[in-house]
């Protein structure tokens, strides 16, 4: 299942959800993609940090450097391109909404295309979290971890 820290967060979020622990579908569809991406950004960072800590990187400076290698628009866009075919139609719809939303201020060290793709991917993660589809979120977390493992092993 989802990592313990994420589960702890989920339990505190239940107050704003229905009896099944889910935000109503109508409410979810009205949440702006930027808000979904904001939630997804936190999830993605947590997953990547946890992955590298589990790999035994316990020096905070080395951990920070390794995490920032993957928690940036270019790396997230590359990850999305790798796993895009594994997304459901519903997730692809959210992906399009996220990609087509207002990009806002694009950081200087990235291009607009990568920024839009990374924001779109974060929106999918946030959507699944807010929807309460934790099983599907776990599937995507596993795909992220497999991608990271592949990247660091060079296979």
Mean pLDDT, residues 27-44:
92
User: Would you name the residues annotated as active-site residues?
Assistant: 41
Q: What is the CATH number of the domain that holds 79?
A: 1.10.1520.10
Instruction: Classify residue 130 by burial, with Cβ atoms within 10 Å: 0-12, 13-18, 19+.
Output: buried
Domain-embedded: residue 67: yes
State the pLDDT confidence band at 42, using cuts at 50, 70 and 90.
very high
> The domain containing residue 33 runs over which residues?
25-153
- Out of 20-24, 29-33, 120-124, 136-140, pick the least confident: 20-24
Residues 6 or more apart in contact with residue 43 via CB below 8 angstroms: 6, 122, 125, 126, 129, 137, 141
Say what the pLDDT of residue 15 is: 46
Using CA of residue 131, residue 133, residue 137, residue 138, what is the dihedral sign?
positive
Domain-embedded: residue 95: yes
Mean pLDDT, residues 15-38:
74
Total-model pTM: 0.84
Mean pLDDT, residues 48-56:
98
pLDDT surpassing 90 at residue 26: no
Structural domain count, the chain: 1
pLDDT surpassing 60 at residue 115: yes
Q: What percent of the chain is modeled with pLDDT above 90?
A: 72
Mean pLDDT, residues 90-116:
88
Domain-embedded: residue 14: no
Domain-embedded: residue 9: no
Domain-embedded: residue 112: yes
The three-point CA angle 104-38-83 to 5° equals 95
State how far Cα 124 lies from the chain centre: 7
Domain-embedded: residue 116: yes
- For the chain, strand residue ranges (E) read none
pLDDT surpassing 60 at residue 12: no
Mean pLDDT, residues 95-110:
83
pLDDT surpassing 80 at residue 9: no
Contact 2, 137 (CB under 8 A): yes
Domain-embedded: residue 16: no
Domain-embedded: residue 94: yes
């Amino acid at each position: 299942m989802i990592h313990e820290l994420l589960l702890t967060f989920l339990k505190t979020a239940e107050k704003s959800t229905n009896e099944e622990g889910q935000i109503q579908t109508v409410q979810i569809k009205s949440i702006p993609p930027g808000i979904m991406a904001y939630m997804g950004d936190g999830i993605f960072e947590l997953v990547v940090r946890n992955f590298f800590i589990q790999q035994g990187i316990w020096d905070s400076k080395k951990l920070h450097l390794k995490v920032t290698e993957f928690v940036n628009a270019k790396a997230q866009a590359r990850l999305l391109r790798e796993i895009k075919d594994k997304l459901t139609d519903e997730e692809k719809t959210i992906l399009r909404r996220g990609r087509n939303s207002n990009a806002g201020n694009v950081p200087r060290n990235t291009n607009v295309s990568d920024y839009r793709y990374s924001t779109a991917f974060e929106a999918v993660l946030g959507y699944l979290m807010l929807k309460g589809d934790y099983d599907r979120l776990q599937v995507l977390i596993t795909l992220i971890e497999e991608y990271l493992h592949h990247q660091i092993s060079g296979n």
